[in-house]
Amino acid sequence: MIMNEKNCALCGAAIRNYDAFLHHFNLGEGLEKDICSRCSDRILKHQQEIFAKLFPTRAAKKRYDRK
């Protein structure tokens, strides 16, 4: 018997080896979602791309300020 089988809120796939610590996202205001590792990786990459575009100078500055 499979207990607590969860499906990803984004892609709908069953989450293997479900672990609330890894896969449960509490977004606040009563909004809680389960997201599989693959989708959370995609979100992380997406966030990093956005961050790199929004703050391109910050990374560059760091590189030159270190001297």
User: Considering CB under 5 A, how many residues would be counted as binding Zn ion?
Assistant: 5
Considering only residues 3 to 62 of the shown chain, the ones binding Zn ion according to CB under 5 A are: 8, 10-11, 36, 39
CB of 58 to Zn ion, least distance (A): 30
19-53: b or e for each residue (b if 16 or more CB lie within 10 Å)? eeeebeeeeeeeeeebbbeebeeeeeeeeeeeeee
CB of 54 to Zn ion, least distance (A): 25
What does the binding site for Zn ion look like in residue numbers (CB under 5 A)?
8, 10-11, 36, 39
